[in-house]
Structure 1
Amino acid sequence: MRKSQLPITNYQLLLGLSLLIALFLSACAQPTGEPKPPDIVYNRDMCEACGMIISDARFAAATLTTDGRSLKFDDAGEMFGYHARNSQVQVRAWFVHDYDSQKWINGKDAFYVIARDIKSPMGTGVATFAERANAETLAKRFNVNVLTFDQAFTAIKEGKSGM
């Protein structure tokens, strides 16, 4: 004996379509969770701002955009300059390398030293630190102040790189 198949009701069809639409929209959604810095392949990856090869891990920087792109820079000054010129690019997360350990740190929490005698890749003279004490040591050497993220961004935006 063969069982008869029940027809699909409008409710079931609507439910199925709703699930498909929800799945599609979730795939297109903004990234969630804790943002992670990108991997940089030194001596191969290029700076988004100037096209130069990224070669010095002490100065490397990156941003993650709200549309999921990773933008890599050869130094934090280049990163700030790029975003000052491209304010339409919305940043989800800012990353810089600690000058001493060369590990990624949150750019918003970093301490910045800008001095013309800091030999950064593009001459912006920006060094970044996870620890304020380490930043103060370098700042004292060059007779400059330690800056916050906002202060450093403003300084670069106003053309005060390599102060």
Structure 2
Amino acid sequence: MNSRIVTWLLRILVASPLVIVAHLAMVALAALVACSDLQPAPIDYGSAQCTSCKMTITDKQYGSEIVTTTGKTYAFDAVECMLSWYASEGVVKMNQVHSLWVSDHAHPGTLIDAKSACYVASEELHSPMGLNVAAFSSSADCDAAVTTYSGTKHTYTTVLEMAKEH
């Protein structure tokens, strides 16, 4: 073992209880920070099943995912399946969810933060479960899709409400 580490450990062992508590707090904080970078897992398109409707997830423009605070991931075939399942608070309560991810329609297979995404609703989009909503990471792509698909622009909050009613 490195002599610096041994020296440091000996200092801690003979230090006052307050110093020991401070060191333990720093270690706990470091562990917490290390665990806070929970990311979505890649969706296995063509094989993975939607957690909500059990359909095979095939379309890279519409897949979505929930990451819990423990790191467990749940994959969905469409934003409406994910948000309906999320809002129902059946298996996972909202306070157990770390993050929500949606596919960037302009960059298929790329998952983006659902709450900061821009959404377009249009009958011309044909999402897997029929809400016909697509997500975009940039406002430029979102605006272009509004024109291309004769759609309407939405935020996460309005899409969540749409999914609850769907």
Q: TM-score range by the shorter chain?
A: 0.7 to 0.9
Structure-2 separation of matches of 1:97 and 1:142: 17
Asked if 1:56 corresponds to 2:63, the answer is no
Asked if 1:94 corresponds to 2:97, the answer is no
| Match for residue 133 of structure 2 among 119, 126, 138 | 126
Q: Name the residue aligned to 2:7.
A: none
Q: Please, which runs of 5 or more residues in structure 2 have no aligned partner?
A: 1-23
Following superposition, the deviation at residue 46 of structure 1 comes to 0.4
Asked if 1:45 corresponds to 2:48, the answer is yes
Letter of the structure 2 residue corresponding to residue 59 of structure 1: Y
Following superposition, the deviation at residue 138 of structure 1 comes to 1.7
CA deviation profile, 1:80-126 (whole Å, cap 9, x unmatched) = 11112226253111111110112111111111112233111121211
Structure-2 separation of matches of 1:92 and 1:109: 14
| Match for residue 88 of structure 2 among 82, 85, 88 | 85
Letter of the structure 2 residue corresponding to residue 106 of structure 1: D
Structure-2 separation of matches of 1:144 and 1:115: 4
Letter of the structure 2 residue corresponding to residue 111 of structure 1: C
Give the structure with higher Rg (CA).
Answer: 1
TM-score using structure 1 length: 0.73
Structure-2 separation of matches of 1:117 and 1:86: 30
Following superposition, the deviation at residue 142 of structure 1 comes to 4.1
Work out whether residues 117 and 125 of structure 1, in 8 Å CA contact, stay in contact via their aligned partners in 2. yes
TM-score using structure 2 length: 0.72
Cα-Cα RMSD: 2.7
| Number of residue pairs aligned between Structure 1 and Structure 2 | 139
Asked if 1:72 corresponds to 2:75, the answer is yes
> Hey, which of these two has a bigger chunk of helix by percent?
2
CA deviation profile, 1:53-88 (whole Å, cap 9, x unmatched) = 000111110010123320100011111111122262
Q: Please, which runs of 5 or more residues in structure 1 have no aligned partner?
A: 1-21
- Aligned sequence identity (%): 27
CA deviation profile, 1:14-73 (whole Å, cap 9, x unmatched) = xxxxxxxx9xxx8xx8x8222211111111110001000000111110010123320100
Q: Name the residue aligned to 1:34.
A: 37
Letter of the structure 1 residue corresponding to residue 63 of structure 2: A
| Match for residue 156 of structure 1 among 137, 142, 163 | 163
Structure-1 separation of matches of 2:127 and 2:78: 7
Q: Name the residue aligned to 1:16.
A: none
Letter of the structure 2 residue corresponding to residue 118 of structure 1: L
Q: Which moved more, 1:142-151 or 1:117-126?
A: 142-151
